[in-house]
Amino acid sequence: MKKITNYQNKKVLVLGLAKSGVSAAKLLHELGALVTVNDGKPFEENPEAQDLLTLGIKVVTGSHPIELLDEGFAVVVKNPGIPYENPLVAKAVTLNIPVLTEVELAYQIADCPIIGITGTNGKTTTTTMTGLLLNTERKSGQARLSGNIGFPASSVATEATAEDEMVMELSSFQLMGIETFHPKIAVITNLYEAHLDYHGSREAYVAAKWAIQKNMTADDYLLLNWNQEELQQLSKQTKATVLPFSTKQVVTNGAYLKDGWLYYKEEAIMESQALGVPGQHNVENALAAILIAKLQGVSTEGIKEALTHFHGVPHRTQFAGEVENRKFYNDSKATNSLATEMALGGFDHSKLILLAGGLDRGNDFDELIPSLTGLKAMVVFGETKEKLKETAKKAGITLVVETENVETAVPLAFSLSESGDAILLSPANASWDQYPNFEVRGDKFMAAVKQLKTK
């Protein structure tokens, strides 16, 4: 890592712990900053704060006292999840104290190029695919996953060497806290309406995502989903060299889908059906990853081999196994209708049974009707099962069965299926009516599929 002196003897407030806060506090301490950590969790319930205290870092826990800012901090590094409406953050902004996220720190110390990946959907899958492609055929160094994917960027940056790349998944929350952050390659997978409770408006959300390219130059590459008119228009507002990817049109200066094949420029790379993960959205993700791989010199054979054997990120249209010629897929991460709609695009509906349901947030599911049409059957569960049953009827699905939960839905769906069918968990709802999170829900699905295999 670069031994920067920007923070030497400067007072820095790290606001909020969790993984990224702990990582930022330790890094700043190593860089010679006078670090104060502030976290809402009480000290006696806060092992992270206790650990930092043993390093000689000042710790304030249990609340976010505004008077902390009287200490004359040069910088605030905040947890991305803490909103700007937080009184302490809002006060720091009025005092013109820079409010950063730890991805900015990571960039400042990184010895290697950064590949930044953002967007509403597909970030994690594209990031994972990219890491896999860049590590295939590799002779030295490695592509290191970091950021919103679960590995704090500032920790990864301390270990990365000049022979590596950091492949960084970036949320809109993280991108609001950058100043000099400058990826060599950046991707925006797509833009849909999301996180409006945090950003306040769609315009503010899009502006946060678009910030990924603000420091890029003509020597850098910005990869945009050309299926979206909005991104085509935004492409006119960047200094970066834009490369498009599309499943709807031939873009010969980028990557695209044509006649069932994935192309890079005019070179056929592989058949789309050879991808190890189903779904039109995963074709888009693969096209973005192919573009990055080609820019970094990965061979066509290497790309094809890696993507053929990539079976998805856990809980994101993840292949869960096969039982008596029925394939099972875990898309528990689909906590809204849009995510389920995208997953459904990758299957033959006449041979597909959908498992859906979960927390009732007061919305209906009419926007799903076009995507549900033609399904063989639906198994619905959770608080929204009655609503989904009505939606299924509107879509013309004749076989709709209610059940209690994911665990009972799996054997029921299997009993409704025939050889050659696929069974997809893509709930279109949050999990909190029955499960603590979508990961637990997905794990229960995987366990139920495994149970079928042993019968």
Q: Which pLDDT score is estimated for 280?
A: 84
Give the mean pLDDT of the chain.
95
pLDDT band at 13 (very low <50, low <70, confident <90, very high): very high
Q: Which amino acid is at 131?
A: G
CATH of 103-308, one of 3.40.50.720, 3.30.300.30, 3.30.1330.10, 3.40.1190.10: 3.40.1190.10
If one counts every other C-beta atom within 10 angstroms of the C-beta of residue 437, the result is 14
Distance of CA 348 to the CA centre of its chain: 26
What's the average model confidence in pLDDT over 332-356?
92
Contact between 164 and 143 under an 8 Å Cβ cutoff? The reply is yes
Pairing mode, strands 326-330 and 75-78: unpaired
> Radius of gyration over alpha carbons of the chain, in Å?
23
Question: Tokens 């066509």 — which residue?
Answer: 300
Which pLDDT score, from 0 to 100, does residue 9 have? Answer: 97
Q: What percent of the chain has pLDDT over 70?
A: 100
User: What is the rounded (10 degree) CA torsion for 321, 323, 327, 333?
Assistant: -50
> Using an 8 Å Cβ cutoff, are 223 and 253 in contact?
no
pLDDT given at position 299: 97
pLDDT digits (tens, 9 = 90+) for 143-183: 999 999 989 999 999 999 999 999 999 999 999 999 999 99
| Residue labelled with tokens 């409704």 | 416
Spatial distance between the Cα atoms of 213 and 200, rounded to a whole number of angstroms: 22
In this predicted model, what pLDDT tens digit does every residue of 201-236 receive, in sequence order? 999 999 999 999 999 999 999 999 999 999 999 999
Q: What is the Cα–Cα distance from 439 to 396, expressed in whole angstroms?
A: 31
Kindly tell me if the per-residue pLDDT of 436 is higher than 80.
yes
Q: Is the CB of residue 148 less than 8 Å from the CB of residue 171?
A: yes
* Window from 205-209, 258-262, 313-317 with minimum mean pLDDT: 313-317
Structure confidence at residue 196 (pLDDT)? 81
Rounded average pLDDT over 285-307: 97
Cα 329 to Cα 437: distance, rounded to the nearest angstrom: 18
Q: pLDDT band at residue 361, thresholds of 50, 70 and 90?
A: confident
Q: Do domains 103-308 and 318-454 have the same CATH topology?
A: no
> What is the three-class DSSP state of 245?
strand
CA distance 380 to 41: 38
Query: What is d(CA 449, CA 330) in angstroms, rounded to the nearest whole number?
Result: 10
49, 115 in Cβ contact below 8 A?
no
Beta partners for residue 186, in sequence order:
116, 222
Of the chain, the end-to-end C-alpha distance in Å amounts to 53
Class of domain 318-454: alpha beta
Question: Phi/psi of residue 106, each to 5°?
Answer: -60, -45
Q: Give the architecture-level CATH label for domain 11-100.
A: 3-Layer(aba) Sandwich (3.40)
pLDDT for 329: 95
Give residue 195's pLDDT: 80
- Domain boundaries along the sequence of the chain: 11-100, 103-308, 318-454
Give the pair of three-digit tokens for residue 202.
């769609």
Please report which confidence band the pLDDT of residue 291 belongs to, taking 50, 70 and 90 as the band edges. Answer: very high
Query: Of 395, 382, 455, nearest to 425 (Cα)?
Result: 382
Among the listed ranges 18-22, 190-194, 212-216, 414-418, which one has the minimum average pLDDT value?
Answer: 190-194
